[in-house]
């Protein structure tokens, strides 16, 4: 028997109320515990199955916006995002994008900044028109936006636009330094820094590299072009 319901609120949103497999807060916490214990595959499977259960609850052809300030609804959104990241990391960019597209339908305010990862997915899939639609939702204060614009131009034209390159080198210097570096160790110094209350910009730059490294393994030419700009 299904133990879940979408309860409307006065704010035109819905609260996802559920128990058992529909207690997404519990399921998400359990998947994180599994991952911390080393069962990464099990954690990923747990999150994806939770997403599948959630998708079945959403009525087709109707607008459903989940209430961010409701614990279980927020956990459901976080589960979708986490599963999108899982699929991104195993290079299933198409499924990752599909998950994020649903996430943005359920959370148009994009509290989890899923637009950023979706932009990476679209470029990996060479969906330039879709990329053009979503890039404006990525904050111009984000180093990712500059990387995305540079990579998009490189995928289109095989070269880096000088204006964007200059902006990346000057406004986001620690990120530029990280992306042209020969090594990116996730060593104890980095882990202490990134897990601190106020991580340095250099640590945040390495975190972004590590989050997107699978792309640069597939498209090393882009990183090579960035490194060429140093010389």
What pLDDT does residue 3 have? 79
In this structure, how many other beta carbons lie within 10 angstroms of the beta carbon of residue 87? 22
- For residues 27 and 100, state if they share a domain: yes
In this structure, the answer to whether residues 98 and 14 fall within a common structural domain is yes
- What pLDDT is recorded for position 45? 96
User: pLDDT digit string (tens) for 44-93?
Assistant: 999 999 999 999 999 988 899 999 999 999 999 999 999 999 999 999 99
Q: Cα–Cα distances in Å, from 141 out to 100, 145, 150, 172?
A: 21, 8, 15, 9
Domain of residue 205, residue span: 139-231
The domain that holds 24 is classified in CATH as 1.25.40.10
Look at phi and psi of residue 159 and say left if phi exceeds 0, alpha if psi is from -120 to 50, else beta: beta
Share of the chain above pLDDT 70, in %: 99
Query: Beta partners for 7?
Result: 15
Number of domains in the chain: 2
Tens-digit pLDDT profile for residues 92-119? 999 999 999 999 999 999 999 999 999 9
For residue 1, the model assigns a pLDDT of 45
Residues 229 and 186 in one domain: yes
pLDDT, tens only, 119-136: 999 999 999 999 999 999
Q: Identify whether residues 123 and 143 lie together within a single domain.
A: no
* Same domain, yes or no: 105 and 155: no
Are both 11 and 117 inside the same structural domain?
A: yes
CA 162 – CA 178 distance, rounded (Å): 19
Query: Which one of 136, 159, 183 terminates a domain?
Result: 136
Phi, psi dihedrals of residue 6, rounded to the nearest 5°: -105, 110
Quote the pTM value. 0.94
Predicted confidence band at 2 (pLDDT cuts at 50, 70, 90)?
low
Give the DSSP per-residue string, 32-53. HHHHHTT-HHHHHHHHHHHHHH
Q: State yes or no: pLDDT of 11 exceeds 80.
A: yes
Average pLDDT over residues 160-188: 95
pLDDT at 60: 87
Reported as a pLDDT band with limits 50, 70 and 90, residue 195 is very high
Per-residue model confidence as pLDDT tens digits over 165-175: 999 999 999 99
Cβ contacts of residue 141 below 8 Å, gap of 6+?
none
Q: Are residues 104 and 147 in the same domain?
A: no
How many angstroms separate the Cα of 203 from the Cα of each of 2, 149, 195? 45, 22, 9
Task: Report the C-alpha gap between 56 and 192 in whole angstroms.
Answer: 41
- Note whether 176 and 127 are same-domain residues: no
């Amino acid at each position: 028997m299904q133990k879940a319901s979408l309860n409307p609120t006065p704010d035109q949103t819905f609260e996802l109320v559920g128990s058992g497999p529909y207690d997404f807060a519990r399921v998400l916490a359990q998947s994180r515990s599994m991952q911390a214990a080393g069962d990464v595959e099990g954690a990923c499977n747990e999150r994806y199955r939770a997403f599948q259960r959630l998708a079945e609850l959403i009525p087709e052809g109707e607008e459903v916006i989940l209430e961010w300030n409701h614990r279980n609804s927020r956990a459901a959104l976080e589960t979708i995002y986490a599963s999108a990241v899982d699929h991104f990391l195993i290079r299933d960019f198409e499924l990752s994008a599909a998950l994020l597209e649903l996430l943005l339908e359920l959370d148009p305010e994009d509290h989890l900044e899923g637009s950023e990862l979706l932009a990476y997915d679209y470029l990996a899939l060479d969906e330039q028109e879709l990329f053009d639609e979503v890039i404006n939702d990525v904050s111009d204060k984000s180093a990712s936006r500059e990387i995305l614009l540079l990579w998009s131009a490189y995928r289109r034209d095989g070269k880096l636009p000088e204006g964007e390159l200059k902006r990346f080198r000057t406004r986001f210097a620690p990120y530029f330094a990280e992306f042209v570096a020969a090594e990116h160790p996730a060593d104890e110094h980095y882990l202490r820094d990134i897990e601190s209350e106020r991580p340095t910009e250099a640590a945040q730059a390495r975190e972004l590299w590590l989050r997107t490294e699978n792309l640069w393994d597939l498209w090393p030419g882009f990183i090579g072009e960035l490194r060429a700009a140093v010389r």
